[in-house]
């Protein structure tokens, strides 16, 4: 292996690692706030990619219908959960979040999609369509189980993943799709030819990580999320609504998953079930990073991306085996180093 090949593999690993970093951060955030191991996070990558590809082709994506269905289901679940303690403000807010919002997004999509308004509008529409699905799923599936054990939440997450894969087949079909890159520019750096899309991926990931840091450090909602992650019971005692914190965490996770899909669909053909393997790499990075450390998750994601890149070069048939088995020694080391603790009630 010469230097040029080494640099190319490292470059590919960093680009892939940037995507895995977004997924790892979202998984750590959701687990810290809600104790949910969000197995279905990868589906938002596939949904975001396929929605953006459909909009780029001038078609109304099937995700619009799924958004409306989930919004209606979340509305029913919200009214059921708030029975006996509803007021006018709560009712109006719930109707606005679950009925008016998806209806407005669907209307805008039906008007704008056939016009092919361009990359910026297509990206914003794709994010607007896919992102609300995550908090809707939290309200439907996880909010009623907020006090359940981690095992019950994990089983629920696995069931949700299977349901979303089936919905992906129904609303997007079995065909794979690919979209044009954000930019056709090509940057030359010695032996490296860095495509514009790779620059976009790394730059957007870096900006988003800085934004999340500022959000958690300075914004009141971010501080509430941090407090909930540290101690849910203590957060409730000081007046922080942990249910709302869970909604925000799932919304951020949905946004990062959809954004990851939008970023990778110009580089690879995405199918309705592609999200699971992509999300599993993000999960591997989150576990290696400790499932509680944001910097650790980012560093681990880059290492996973680089390991996958070199594995593809040396043993492409076993690259997934090599990447996923890297988690085994980490789990063994942690199981020997840390004692078991009871779930927080």
| Total domains present in the chain | 1
Angle between helices 3-34 and 41-56 (to 10 degrees): 120
The DSSP secondary-structure symbol of 194 reads E
Structural domain of 296: 3-337
- Counting DSSP H helices and E strands in the chain, the numbers are 16, 2
Per-residue model confidence (pLDDT) at position 344: 47
Low-confidence stretches of the chain (pLDDT < 50) are 341-345
In a domain? residue 168: yes
Instruction: For residue 202, tell me if it sits in a domain.
Output: yes
CA–centroid distance for 316 within its chain: 26
SS3 call for 187 = strand
> How confident is the model over 153-197, as pLDDT tens digits?
999 999 999 999 999 999 998 988 988 888 777 777 767 777 888
Q: What pLDDT, on a 0 to 100 scale, did the predictor assign at position 86? A: 66
Q: What is the pLDDT of residue 345?
A: 45
The pLDDT of residue 82 is: 73
Residue 201 in any domain: the answer is yes
For the four alpha carbons of 268, 269, 272 and 273, in that order, the dihedral sign comes to: negative
Q: Count of CB atoms within 10 A of residue 41's CB?
A: 32
Inside any domain, residue 343: no
In a domain, 342, yes or no: no
Q: Is 345 inside any structural domain?
A: no
- Is residue 344 included in any domain, yes or no? no
DSSP 287-330: HHTTSS-HHHHHHHHHHHHHHHHHHHHH-GGGHHHHHHHTHHHH
Confidence at residue 1, expressed as pLDDT on a 0 to 100 scale: 61
């Amino acid at each position: 292996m010469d230097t040029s090949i080494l640099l190319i593999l490292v470059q590919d690993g960093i680009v892939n690692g940037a995507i895995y970093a977004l997924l790892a951060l979202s998984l750590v955030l959701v687990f810290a706030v809600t104790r949910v191991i969000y197995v279905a996070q990868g589906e938002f990558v596939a949904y975001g990619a396929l929605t953006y590809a459909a909009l780029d082709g001038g078609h109304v994506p099937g995700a619009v219908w799924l958004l409306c269905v989930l919004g209606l289901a979340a509305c029913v679940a919200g009214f059921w959960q708030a029975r006996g303690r509803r007021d006018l403000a709560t009712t109006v807010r719930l109707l606005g979040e679950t009925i008016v919002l998806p209806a407005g997004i669907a209307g805008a999509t039906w008007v704008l999609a056939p016009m092919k308004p361009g990359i910026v509008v297509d990206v914003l529409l794709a994010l607007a369509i896919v992102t609300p699905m995550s908090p809707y799923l939290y309200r439907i599936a996880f909010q009623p189980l907020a006090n359940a054990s981690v095992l019950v939440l994990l089983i629920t997450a696995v069931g949700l993943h299977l349901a979303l894969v089936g919905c992906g087949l129904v609303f997007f079909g079995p065909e794979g799709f690919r979209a044009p890159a954000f930019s056709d520019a090509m940057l030359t750096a010695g032996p490296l030819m860095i495509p514009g899309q790779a620059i976009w991926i790394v730059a957007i990931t870096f900006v988003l990580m800085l934004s999340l840091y500022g959000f958690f450090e300075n914004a009141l909602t971010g501080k509430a999320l941090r407090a909930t992650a540290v101690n849910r019971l203590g957060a409730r005692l000081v007046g922080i609504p942990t249910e709302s914190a869970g909604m925000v965490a799932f919304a951020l996770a949905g946004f990062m998953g959809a954004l990851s899909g939008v970023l990778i669909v110009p580089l690879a053909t995405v199918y309705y079930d592609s999200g699971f393997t992509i999300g599993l790499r993000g999960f591997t990075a989150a576990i290696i990073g400790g499932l509680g450390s944001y910097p650790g998750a980012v560093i681990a994601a880059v290492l996973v991306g680089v390991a996958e890149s070199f594995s593809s070069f040396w043993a492409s048939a076993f690259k997934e085996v090599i990447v996923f088995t890297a988690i085994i020694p980490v789990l063994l080391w942690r199981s020997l180093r840390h004692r078991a603790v009871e779930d927080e009630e």
